[in-house]
Amino acid sequence: MSILSVTNLTKTYQSGSRKLTVLDNVNFEVNAGATMAIVGPSGSGKTTLLGLCAGLDTASGGSVKLVGKALENLSEDERAKVRNESVGFIFQNFQLLPTLTALENVMVPMELKKRKDARHQAEVLLNQVGLGDRLTHYPSQLSGGEQQRVSIARAFANEPKILFADEPTGNLDTETGDMIENLIFQLNKEKGTTLILVTHDPQLAERTQQIISIKGGKIQEVSYG
């Protein structure tokens, strides 16, 4: 069953008198529980595509159907509701709140849902990513790899149906990056989440079941692992 369906997706920006096409008639589908990578050179439209699929931005044309809902028919608030209920995010630059501890950062999504077990679940998740002894540390007291592990725990906090990861190992050294990769795939498998990731790393892309190569805003190739 398809959890993400993209049809004739187009994104253009007006730059003075010029019209810049960032995405041009993109089509693909992802089944629930599948893993997919979006690859391509810098400026090819990968991050724009990810943002449109996750409902963070609106398209100029075409359709994105996420967890059965056509995003173009929804208001900003309705799209936010879909994200809060069904989507997890992992970013290249971690995007942790600097004034909150690791534990509090992971609790945030659950507290927004008024979950009574937020603290307990955050502790469980941080233990799962190997940070059980870092609960009270602030982001500035953690290494890059540790910060990314906190963001992975936060991404899984609301048991998302689909997880979007934008260059999740982009700011990490090779060894730390490999560990983060393994962690994402392991948790993803355990929790049955759909995984969509943007990456420059061919080895990371090869670990997914479906690879979409994008260049100049157009899909060049779709391959299956």
pLDDT digits (tens, 9 = 90+) for 102-130: 999 999 989 988 889 999 999 999 999 99
| pLDDT of res. 112 | 85
Quick check: 69 pLDDT over 80? Answer: yes
**At CA 54, angle to CA 207 and CA 51, rounded to 5?**
90
Report the distance separating Cα 156 and Cα 99, nearest Å: 21
> At residue 94, what is the residue type?
F
The whole-chain average pLDDT of the chain stands at 93
Contacts of 152 (CB under 8 A, 6+ apart): 90, 129, 168, 180, 183, 184, 187
> What is the per-residue pLDDT across 36-65, written as a single tens digit (0 to 9) for each?
999 998 889 999 999 999 999 999 999 999
What's the whole-model pTM score? 0.91
> What is the per-residue pLDDT across 156-174, written as a single tens digit (0 to 9) for each?
998 999 999 999 888 888 8
What are the structure tokens assigned to 11, written together?
């994104």
What average pLDDT does the segment 214-221 reach? 93
| pLDDT of res. 15 | 84
The answer to whether the CB of 176 falls within 8 A of the CB of 146 is: no
Q: Percent helix, strand and coil across the chain, each rounded to 5? A: 35, 30, 35
| pLDDT of res. 114 | 87
What are the structure tokens assigned to 12, written together?
């253009």
What average pLDDT does the segment 141-152 reach? 94
At residue 192 the predicted structure's pLDDT band, cuts being 50, 70 and 90, is: very high
| pLDDT of res. 210 | 95
| pLDDT of res. 165 | 94
End-to-end, the C-alpha distance of the chain in Å comes to: 19
| pLDDT of res. 225 | 72
The answer to whether the CB of 89 falls within 8 A of the CB of 102 is: no
What average pLDDT does the segment 183-192 reach? 91
Contacts of 110 (CB under 8 A, 6+ apart): 117, 118, 121, 122, 157, 158
Report the distance separating Cα 154 and Cα 150, nearest Å: 6
Quick check: 91 pLDDT over 90? Answer: no
| pLDDT of res. 89 | 92
| pLDDT of res. 158 | 85
Full 3-state SS string of 95-164:
CCCCCCCHHHHHHHHHHHCCCCCHHHHHHHHHHHCCCCCCCCCCHHHCCHHHHHHHHHHHHCCCCCCEEE
Report the distance separating Cα 139 and Cα 150, nearest Å: 9
| CATH no. for 2-224 | 3.40.50.300
Element spanning 17, H or E: none
**At CA 38, angle to CA 61 and CA 107, rounded to 5?**
95
**Counting beta carbons within 10 angstroms of the beta carbon of residue 113, is it exposed (0 to 12), middle (13 to 18) or buried (19 or more)?**
exposed
What average pLDDT does the segment 90-103 reach? 92
